[in-house]
Amino acid sequence: MYTSGAPGMIGDWDREREAEKIPSAENHGQLGKEEFLRLLITQLENQDPLNPMDDKEFVAQLAQFSSLEQLTNISEEVKAIKENSVQQDMVGAVGFIGKEVMAEGDQVSKDANTISTLYYNMDDTAAKMYFNIFDSHGNMVRTVEMQARQAGEYEFNWDGKDYSGREVPDGNYKVTIGAEGFNGEPVMVNTSVSGRVSGVQSMNGQSYLRLADGRVINFAQVSEVVESRSAESQKEE
């Protein structure tokens, strides 16, 4: 049976596929280039010889298919580049194993009397600063208040004790910093951590360095390779 409604067949095709719950494309539920080509062939096979498809319409659909194919190829190339970039990052990250690095981060580790240092810097002067320390369950175990600090780079060394002065269990702790200026305005504080790299892992398409104390830092956020420092010899500046 011939049909003269060729222009409406794409809409009919999509409606039938939706009714059957069959995705048109592998990932996004859209019409893929193979489906588009089959649909075009079906239109040609079923068009009415007495009322064939208009040349302009046919050329337009071919142009759509060409554009779809180009976009698909570009998508595949971008995916390949991304995968290659992740592999290169992993190879580069392996070279950091055994080295002491510094990177953006907000966690410190406690192992007996050894507590890692948190480094922070500010572009503006802070009248008051609050260092809030949280355990791995998100419970606040201590708040340390600091007085005025000029813009610059500093170190924070926690004594490993809670509000009551008791030693907290060994592990990793998150430190958040709240700072305000002399007029109560918020002051931006950037933090970083350091540690010896013991391993490399990939998560969500990104490479991470695993430190010897269990902390994890983003490889892309490593700022420098530093000398090993003893937390016991560090004092608050």
Distance CA 126, CA 124 (A): 6
- Read off φ and ψ for residue 112, nearest 5 degrees: 60, -120
- Cα(136)–Cα(33) distance, rounded to whole angstroms? 49
d(CA 51, CA 77): 41
Supply the pTM of this predicted model: 0.58
Helices assigned H by DSSP within 47-159: 55-94
CB atoms within 10 A of CB 128: 16
Q: What is the CATH number of domain 100-233?
A: 2.60.40.4070
Domain boundaries in the chain?
6-94, 100-233
Q: Give the tokens for residue 182.
A: 């002399």
Check residue 32 and give its pLDDT.
58
Q: Which residues pair with 206 in a beta bridge?
A: 203
CB 101 within 8 A of CB 194: yes
What pLDDT does 15 receive? 52
Q: How far apart are CA 206 and CA 92, in angstroms?
A: 12
Token reading at 62: 């071919």
Residue 131 to residue 153: CA distance in whole angstroms = 15
8 Å CB contact between 220 and 202: no
DSSP label at residue 161: B
Q: Tens-digit pLDDT profile for the chain (237 aa)?
A: 444 444 444 455 455 555 454 444 444 445 555 666 676 677 666 666 666 555 556 556 666 666 766 777 676 767 655 556 555 665 666 778 888 999 999 999 999 889 999 999 999 999 999 999 999 999 999 999 998 999 999 999 999 999 999 999 999 999 999 999 999 999 999 999 999 999 888 877 788 899 999 999 988 888 888 755 443 444 444
DSSP strand pairing (216-218 vs 100-104): unpaired
Burial class (CB in 10 A: 0-12, 13-18, 19+), 129: buried
